Structure 1
């Protein structure tokens, strides 16, 4: 069973590598400046959302909001 899982995962890795290589080797026009700006803004926004969510997770955990309720 483990061998089958390993074969499937390695096959997926090879497929992803092939598609990444084929996408990078396509000849075409370079990305315009607006594309780089959009890429930078999207990446920055994703990082900001990730940092915000992790901050909320740690604050929630430290203040005890994640604990099960204690009924008296």
Structure 2
């Protein structure tokens, strides 16, 4: 196993620090002292949350799939006038 360079070590430390900040933020936001636990959600709220999450994920995955299919089939090449074509037409 090769050793890490200085840049890679700094990157790993920075990413771990950001992860720690995110975890601390989540704990702080979900803490009971902020008054968030006093809000109750009824059945309609849970249904709306579930459906909204599902359809957001479905639309995101569908658009990403269309992007990859479009890229692999070459549909994007015609829309990019600055890219040089790899195939020469003779």
Q: TM-score, normalised by structure 1?
A: 0.62
Unaligned runs of 5+ in 1: none
Structure with the bigger RCO (C-alpha within 8 Å, sep 6+) is 1
Among residues 7, 15, 18, which one is paired with 1:9 in the alignment?
Answer: 15
- Aligned CA RMSD, in angstroms, stands at 2.8
Give the CA deviation at 1:54: 4.3
- Aligned partners of 1:25, 1:33: CA distance in 2, in Å? 24
Q: TM-score, normalised by structure 2?
A: 0.54
Give the CA deviation at 1:22: 1.8
Unaligned runs of 5+ in 2: 1-6, 79-84
How many residue pairs get matched? 72
1:36 aligns with 2:46: yes
- Aligned partners of 1:56, 1:9: CA distance in 2, in Å? 31
